[in-house]
Structure 1
Amino acid sequence: MLCRSLLKSGALAADWAPVFAAVPRSGFLPEVMWPFDVGAQASTVADRSADPGRWHGYAEADVPVVTQWDDGRHAGPGPGKVATSSASMPSVVAAMLADLDVRDGQAVLEIGTGTGWNAGLLAHRLGGARVTTVEVDAAVAEAARDALRRAGLGPTVVTGDGRDGYRPGAPYDRVIATCGVREIPYAWVEQTALGGIVVAPWGTPYGNGDAVVRLVVADGTASGRFTRLVEFMKLRAHRGPAVRHGDVVPYGGVEAAEESTTGVTEAEFLTGRYTALPFVLGLRVPGCVQAAAGKRGGARPVWFYGRDGRGEASWAVVMFRDGRPTATVRQGGPRRLWDEVEAAYHWWAERGRPGVGRFGLTVDGDGQYAWLDDPAGAWPVDGAR
C-alpha cells in the first residue's frame, strides 16, 4: 500500500519501486512507536499488541515515526520530551535515495542507522556487502541489526560516531546521512571516491530546519546544490546546547536597550516552516538563533540570540503588532543582531527571493562555504552554535 501510494504521488522513482515493495517499513518498526498525527500536528502512540490495525495503518502511512525519546530514557506510553531516533517520512527517504543516484556495484556509507530500513533498502538493491551503516546509539544499532537479520539483509552495522565516517570500508562511492548536520564532517569527503556523491540534511543554528545538500567530491573538496527543505533530528554531536533566554538577555536589559523601528512586516518575515527565508537567514547571519513567540493581544515578539568572536552574548527582539506599519526593535550586546538579520532579508529580497535550489555548499579542509547560483561567489558559513 505504501509503495503504491508513493508511486502514485510521484515521490518514488520507478527503479526504486521493487525495492520498496520487497523491503516494507513495517518490518523495521518497534511494537510501540510514536507516529506523527497530521490532524493533531503532534506525535501519538501506536501499540501493535493493543491495536494492530492502527499500528499497521501508521506503518504504511507517509508520516515520520519516532522510535526513541530522550536518548532511550523514556519508554512511554505517551511521547517523551525530545525525539532522538525515528523512521523518516517515506517520501523523504525516497527523494534522498533518488538524490544519491546509486549504481550497481557501488559502495555506500550511511550515517545514522536508526531503524535500519534505509540501510535495508540500499542492501536489497546493492547487496549487503556493499553497504555500511553507522549508528551512535548501541541499543538502536542492535535493534537495527535484528530487524535486518529478520529481513535476510546483511549490511555492515557499526556502532560509532557518524562524524568519523567509517574508514575501514573506504573509499565509498556514495555517502548518505539520515540525520541533520550543522557542518559536513571532512572525514566524509576524505572517505568518498573522486566523483562520488554525499547527500545530507544540512542546516544552521538559526532554526531546526534543514535542506538536503547533494555534494560531488573532487580533489580535496565537495560542492553541490541544495535540493529540498526538510527537518531531521540532528547528529548528536551537532545538537548544540539549548539557548536559555536568561543567559543571554540580562535582567532589565530589554528596557535599558536602545530602541529603533523596522518596516519589515510580520507577514514578510515569518514565512513558516519549509520556506526558503529562514534557511537563507541562517546562511547569511552566522551563529544566530531565532525564537518566535506566540501571538498575544495582536502582538508577537521574535527573539534573536548570538555571540561575537570573543564569546560575548548579543540579543535582539522585534515586536510585531497587528495593524502597525512598523515594528519596534530593541537589541543589546556587541552585535546588532536585528540589523544583521534585516540586512540579510533585504539581500535575499533584492535578488528575487530565490528558493533553496539556487543555493549551494562547498566543503574543503578549511571549512564550508555557501553560495547563490555560482560557487565563485561563496562566503564562509559556520555551522557550530
Structure 2
Amino acid sequence: MKDPEGWFRAVYSDIPLTTQWDDGSHTGDGLGNTPSSSSSQPHMVFSMLKDLDVRGGHRVLEIGTGTGWNAGLLAHRLGEENLVSVEFDPVVAEGAAENLRHAGLSPRLVVGDGRKGHPEGAPYDRVIATCSVREVPGAWVEQTSTGGVVVAPWGTLYGGEAIVRLTVQGRTASGRFTRSSAFMRLRQQRADRPPHGAYLKGRKWPADGARSTTALSPADVGGWVEQFVIGLQMAGAFWTVERYGDGTYTLWTYSTDTLSWASADYEPGAASFDVVQSGPRRLWDETEAAYRWWEGRGRPGFDRFGLTVADGREQVWLDSPDHPVPAVG
C-alpha cells in the first residue's frame, strides 16, 4: 500500500471503490479494462439496507459478498448465524472472509453461483443482491418466505438501472423500483454484444441503410431514466457512441441478432439530425417510439415503475401491474 492515508480517505468517502479488474486477471499497476468487484458507495449501501428493512430474527441471503462490508453490517445487526453470503469469485471470497475475521465476524460465506442462492439455508426473510441482474433468478424467489423481500439492482441490456424491491407471495414477487443505481452485472448475466463489424459486414457506411432525419436529438435519449425506459420496450437492442472530438458524435443502435442497425448523428445546436437504418428492425424508429411513449406519460421517474416476477416471466409496469410497459416494433 503506497499511500495508506489516501486509502483511508477513500474508504471513508461517499464513493464506490473498485477492488478488482477483469475478473482478477489484471495484476499490474494502474487500471484494467473492466471493473469486476468493488466496495459500493456508502450512500447506496445504506439506501439499499433501508429498502431491505431487516428486523431482529430475520434470516438474510446476500448475493455478492465483495469486500464483505455489507455482509459485516448485516451480521452485526442480525447476528452472524442469520446471514448467508454467496460470492462467485473464490479470491474475492477469501479476501472478504479475512476482512470479516478482522472485524470479529464469521457469517456463513459460500463460494458458488449466486443465481442458485443457497437452498440449504432457506427459507430467508430477506434477499439482497450487490450485483445487478437482467432477470431475477427464480431461486431467489423460491428461497424467500411468503411476505419476505428481495432487493436487487435491475436493468435491461440497453441500459439504465434501478433498485427494485419485491415482496414475495408464494412463487410470485412484485414491487416498485425505489432509486437509480449502477452496479456491476451478475457474471452469469453479462451481455455478449457483437462487435460493430458484425453489422456492416465489410461494407462502407451507409451500406444498404435508408436515410432520414429526426427532430429527436440523440442527446435526449442518453439519460439514465431514458435508457431504462427505452430498454424496457426494445428487447434485444443495445447502443454505442462514436465521438469525433468536436462535440459531434454518432449514436449507433444494434440488434443482438446482428441483422439490424441504426446510426443517428448528433451536432450541437442542430434542429434535425441525420439517421440511417438497416435491417428488418427500424431501430431508430423504435427508439423514438419508446421515448415518445415515456414523454406522453409525463416523463415518469424510476419510482413510478414496478416489476412482477412469476413462473419464470417478468413484466415491468407503470404505476400498477395493470399497466404493463408495451414493446415497440
> Which amino acid is 2:262 matched to?
A
What is aligned with 2:316?
Answer: 370
SS state of the match for residue 277, structure 1? helix
Q: 2:199 aligns with which of 248, 253, 257?
A: 248
Query: What secondary structure sits across from 1:86 in the alignment?
Result: strand
Q: 1:324 to 1:116 in 2, by over 3 A?
A: same
% identical equivalent positions: 52
Alignment partner of 1:361 is 2:307: yes
Question: Take 1:186 and 1:113, find their aligned partners in 2: how far apart are those partners?
Answer: 20
Deviation at 1:266, TM superposition (A): 4.0
TM-score (norm. length: structure 1): 0.82
Q: 1:253, CA displacement in angstroms? A: 5.0
SS in 2 for 1:370: strand
Distance in 2 (CA, whole Å) between partners of 1:215 and 1:66 is: 28
For residue 231 of structure 1, the aligned residue among 167, 182, 196 is: 182
- CA gap 1:124/1:298 in 2 versus in 1, 3 angstroms: closer
Q: How does 1:154-303 map to 2 (within 5 A)?
A: 154-207=106-159, 209-250=160-201, 251-271=203-223, 275-303=224-252
Alpha carbons of structure 1 residues 129 and 225: separation in structure 2 relative to 1, 3 Å: same
Confirm or deny: 8 A CA contact 2:214 2:275 kept in the other structure: yes
Contact 1:172 1:193 in 2 (8 A): yes
Question: Is the CA contact (8 Å cut-off) linking 1:312 and 1:334 kept in structure 2?
Answer: no
Q: Does 1:106 align with 2:39?
A: no
Amino acid at match of 1:221: T
| Separation in 2, partners of 1:96, 1:69 | 24
In 2, the alpha carbon distance for the partners of 1:299 and 1:51 equals: 40
- 1:172-219 superposed Cα distances (whole Å, 9 cap, x missing partner): 000000001111001100000001000000001112x42100000012
- Offset at residue 380 of structure 1 (A): 7.7
Pick the aligned partner of 2:298 from 336, 352, 356: 352
Structure 1 residue 313, shift from structure 2 partner:
2.2
CA contact (8 A) 1:123 1:131 kept: yes
* Rounded Cα–Cα distance in structure 1 between residues aligned with 2:93 and 2:312: 32
Determine if contact 1:369/1:380 at 8 Å carries over to the other structure: no
Distance 1:277 1:127 in 2: 41
Q: 1:313 aligns with which of 252, 256, 259?
A: 259
1:145, 1:157 within 8 Å by CA — same for their partners in 2? yes
Match of 2:73 in 1: 121
For the 8 Å contact 1:367–1:380, the answer to whether it is kept is no
Partner Cα separation in structure 2 for residue 378 and residue 298 of structure 1:
38
The answer as to whether partners of 1:111 and 1:134 remain within 8 angstroms in 2 is yes
Give the length in aligned residue pairs.
326
Please provide the CA RMSD for this pair.
Answer: 1.5
Secondary structure at 2:134's aligned position in 1? coil
1:298 Cα deviation after fit: 4.7
Question: Match of 1:269, as an amino acid?
Answer: V
Q: Is the 8 A contact 2:232 2:325 kept in 1?
A: no
Q: CA offset at residue 295 of structure 1? A: 4.6
Q: Where has structure 1 moved over 4 Å in runs of 4 or more?
A: none
Unpaired stretches in structure 2, ≥5 consecutive residues: none
